[in-house]
Amino acid sequence: MKKPLYFAILTLLFGAAAQAGEDFHAEKFHQASCTGCHDSSVYTRKKRRVDSLPRLESQVRMCDANLGKKLFDDDIHSLTNYLNDNFYHFGK
């Protein structure tokens, strides 16, 4: 009798996780969460810390951890790609 409840809970959790990832909009998230700490000059300055796509993803993950947002991996990748496409322009 416990197994059906267990599977129902897992289904709900995974469904909620999939739903949350589908609703993520990188540009809106950036405007709401990232620009509170810094403006776009941090992305375009000559002596910036981020010098590659892997380093950009690492920085996004660090900011996510510092803000406590707990983004899904797909959302991290979406935000990394948004920043790369709009500011950094690293090769993929």
Q: What is the pLDDT of residues 63-76, one digit of tens each?
A: 999 999 999 999 99
Per-residue pLDDT, averaged over 8-13, amounts to 45
- Percent of the chain clearing pLDDT 90 (strictly above): 54
Domain 25-88 has CATH 1.10.760: yes
N-term to C-term CA, the chain: 50
Q: What is the model's pLDDT at position 3?
A: 52
Q: Does the pTM exceed 0.85?
A: no
Domain boundaries, the chain: 25-88
Report the alpha-carbon distance of residue 39 to residue 7 in Å, rounded: 45
pLDDT tens digits along 16-30: 444 444 689 999 999
Q: Give CA separation, 56 vs 46, 60, 69, 73, in Å.
A: 15, 6, 17, 14
